[in-house]
Amino acid sequence: MMMKQNLAVITGADGGMGREITREVAIAGYSIIMICYTTEKGERVKNQLVESTGNSNIEVLQADFSSMQSVSDVANKILEKHIPIALLMNNAGTLETHLSVTKDGVERTVSVNYLAPYLLTRKLLPMMTSGSRIVNMVSCTYAIGKIDFSCFFERGRRGRFWRIPIYSNTKLALLLFTLELAERLNEKGITVNAADPGIVSTPIITMKAWFDPLTDLFFRPFIRTPRQGADTAIQLLLSPINEKKTGTFSASSRIKKLSAKYKFHKQKSTLWDKTELLVRKWL
């Protein structure tokens, strides 16, 4: 197989959807860096992918997205390679069940789902050029998200811990980052898009823990496999049709129209500025 010299960086690459995305990118011939929470699992998945795709140019790097120092360290390792980055897939995510504050003073869901991909992307931008693609894995739950700057970073939301609203808040933040970054990079030819996988059967959710049997029976037919959930992101990363598209939100492999409320969200630039202040020591 002819390997492309350009590099693809994929976070959460050892998870359900991450594995499927990595598989397709490997088949496409890219050199790949899999950023994984544990090296052991990452190496196991990597070996399976090498065998199934024939692409041996895959490397595993470990990072803990609840630590900005860990994110910074893994980004620096990638930058030291001096290889142009063609694809950056921010796929890693979490759905915390209780309040957990990181050593950086950030609620863990906010750290993993928003702050870490923000910092990683910002640090890797110098290795991206015209034609590079960034895809952020968001969620349709952004529509119920609300960002209260008085508590968003520290607790996720005002009041008691409630995982779904906090998760939704982080996905709204990631969507606003996508839109703001797309505007800032437009003249450089670097595209930035958001993918919604739908409700996917991965370890991040346990349906039986959420619903009573009747509700579970109703929702079960709508749950997608990891491959089905990954398809939208794969299309944004690899399809020639999406080569020039930027600042979009896609679901079911189709671009969905965003309302002006989100395109011109009043918190978009403020969120960028506040996040920059929070991560500047690592930039």
Q: What is the mean pLDDT of residues 213-222?
A: 53
Provide the β-strand partners of residue 276.
none
CA distance 202 to 218: 18
Task: Assess whether pLDDT exceeds 90 at residue 169.
Answer: yes
> pLDDT tens, 256-279?
999 999 999 999 999 999 999 999
Quick one: how far is CA 210 from the chain centroid? Answer: 23
**Strand (E) or helix (H) holding 8:** strand 7-11
Domain ranges of the chain: 7-98+108-138+171-282
In this predicted model, which residue has the larger pLDDT, 71 or 213? 71
What local confidence, expressed as pLDDT, does residue 21 receive? 98
Q: What is the mean pLDDT of residues 216-243?
A: 79
Quick one: how far is CA 276 from the chain centroid? Answer: 18
Task: Assess whether pLDDT exceeds 50 at residue 1.
Answer: no
Give the full edge-to-edge strand order of the sheet including 191-196: 58-62, 31-36, 7-11, 85-90, 133-137, 191-196, 249-251, 254-256
CA distance 188 to 14: 31
Band of pLDDT at residue 3, cut at 50, 70 and 90: very low
Task: Assess whether pLDDT exceeds 70 at residue 212.
Answer: no
Residues 6+ apart with CB under 8 A from 13: 19, 21, 22, 32, 34, 35, 36, 42, 45, 60, 91
Mean pLDDT of the chain: 91
> pLDDT tens, 40-96?
999 999 999 999 999 999 999 999 999 999 999 999 999 999 999 999 999 999 999
Q: What CATH number has the domain spanning 7-98+108-138+171-282?
A: 3.40.50.720
Q: How many CA atoms lie within 13 A of 184 on its CB side?
A: 12
